[in-house]
């Protein structure tokens, strides 16, 4: 223990000329107890997101959304056909044929 005290005393002697200017604000941040300061600290955190997984998720989202839009706005492939001299839509003709 004496060796430890000697090291601390030597360190204190060497660092007497060095003054830390932000000492008060750092201690305030470390000992913050109010909800407002806790929320402020939480919102001030830096977030790191890996680019590749985020881009993959966004691509999946856009592909899924575009598939839904394509199916929603899909143009029906009706054709005009001639039946006994009349021109009718193929889907209407098929419905009538199935109904009979």
* Per-residue pLDDT of the chain in tens (100 residues, 90 and over written 9): 689 999 999 988 888 888 777 878 877 777 767 788 778 878 888 888 899 999 999 999 998 888 777 666 656 667 888 888 888 888 888 888 887 6
pTM here?
Answer: 0.33
Q: Nearest-CA neighbor of 83 among 75, 98, 94, 67? A: 94
Residues facing residue 82 across a β-bridge: 87
Confidence at residue 72, expressed as pLDDT on a 0 to 100 scale: 63
**Structural domain containing residue 15:** 2-43
Contacts of residue 29, Cβ cutoff 8 Å, sequence gap at least 6? 37, 41
On whether both 38 and 59 belong to a single domain, the answer is no
Sign of CA dihedral 46, 50, 55, 60: negative
On whether both 63 and 32 belong to a single domain, the answer is no
Confidence at residue 100, expressed as pLDDT on a 0 to 100 scale: 66
On whether both 79 and 58 belong to a single domain, the answer is yes
On whether both 66 and 83 belong to a single domain, the answer is yes
On whether both 89 and 57 belong to a single domain, the answer is yes
Q: Write out the two tokens for 80.
A: 């005009």
On whether both 35 and 62 belong to a single domain, the answer is no
Q: Write out the two tokens for 5.
A: 């005290």
On whether both 74 and 39 belong to a single domain, the answer is no
Q: Write out the two tokens for 78.
A: 């009706």
On whether both 33 and 67 belong to a single domain, the answer is no
Q: In the chain, how many domains are there?
A: 2
Q: Answer whether 78's CB lies under 8 Å from 91's CB.
A: yes
Q: Nearest-CA neighbor of 59 among 48, 67, 47, 69? A: 67
């Amino acid at each position: 223990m004496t060796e430890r005290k000697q090291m601390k005393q030597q360190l204190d002697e060497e660092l007497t000329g060095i003054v830390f200017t932000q000492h008060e604000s750092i201690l305030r941040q470390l000992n913050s107890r109010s909800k407002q300061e806790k929320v402020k600290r939480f919102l001030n955190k830096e977030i790191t997101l890996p680019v590749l997984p985020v881009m993959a998720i966004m691509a999946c989202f856009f592909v899924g959304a575009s598939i839904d839009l394509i199916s929603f706005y899909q143009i029906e492939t009706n054709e005009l056909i001639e039946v006994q001299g009349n021109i009718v839509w193929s889907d209407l003709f098929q419905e009538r044929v199935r109904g009979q």
